[in-house]
Amino acid sequence: MELRHLRYFVTVAEELHFGRAAERLNMSQPPLSRQIQELEEELGFALFTREHHKVSLTDAGRTYLAHATLILDQVARARQEAAGIAHGGTGLLRVGHGTHLPDGFVTRVLAAFQEAAPGIAIELLEAPTPRVLRALQQKSIDVGLILTPADHAGLIVKPLLREPLVIALPIDHKYADAPLEQLSQLAGENFVTCRKYDDPGYREIVEAICQREGFMPRVPQAVEHKSTVLDLVASGLGITFIQRSATTERPEGIRYVEFPDCVPHIDSAIAWRADARHESITLFAETAEREAALLSAQLPALSDGAVSCNAGYAVNANA
pTM: 0.65
How far apart are alpha carbons 179 and 182 in whole angstroms? Answer: 9
Judge residue 52's burial from the number of C-beta atoms within 10 Å of its C-beta, 0-12 exposed, 13-18 middle, 19 or more buried: exposed
> Which parts of the chain sit beneath pLDDT 70?
80-81, 83-90, 197-200, 249-250, 300-308, 311-319
Return the CA Rg of the chain.
32
Contacts of 177 by beta carbon, 8 Å cutoff, 6+ apart: 255
How far apart are alpha carbons 152 and 171 in whole angstroms? Answer: 41
- The kind and range of the H/E element at 48 are strand 48-51
How far apart are alpha carbons 291 and 288 in whole angstroms? Answer: 5
Q: Quick check: 36 and 8 in contact, CB under 8 A?
A: yes
Whether the domain at 3-86 and the domain at 163-265 fall into the same CATH topology = no
Specify the length of the chain in residues. Answer: 319
DSSP SS3 for 54: strand
How far apart are alpha carbons 16 and 55 in whole angstroms? Answer: 5
HSE-CB at 194 with a 13 A cutoff on CA atoms is 19
Q: What is the CATH code for 91-161+266-300?
A: 3.40.190.10
DSSP SS3 for 278: coil
* Spans of all domains in the chain: 3-86, 91-161+266-300, 163-265
Q: Quick check: 128 and 96 in contact, CB under 8 A?
A: no
Judge residue 28's burial from the number of C-beta atoms within 10 Å of its C-beta, 0-12 exposed, 13-18 middle, 19 or more buried: exposed
pLDDT the model gives residue 291: 94
Q: Quick check: 290 and 112 in contact, CB under 8 A?
A: yes
Task: Determine the topology of domain 163-265 in CATH.
Answer: D-Maltodextrin-Binding Protein; domain 2 (3.40.190)
Q: What is the CATH code for 3-86?
A: 1.10.10.10
pLDDT the model gives residue 303: 60
> Would you list the DSSP string of 154-214?
TEEEEEEEEEEEEEEEETTSTTTTS--S-GGGGTTSEEEEEPP-SS--HHHHHHHHHHHTT
Find, among 237, 233, 240, 238, the residue nearest to 254 by Cα. 233
Q: How far is CA 113 from CA 88, 121, 195, 293, in A?
A: 11, 10, 33, 15
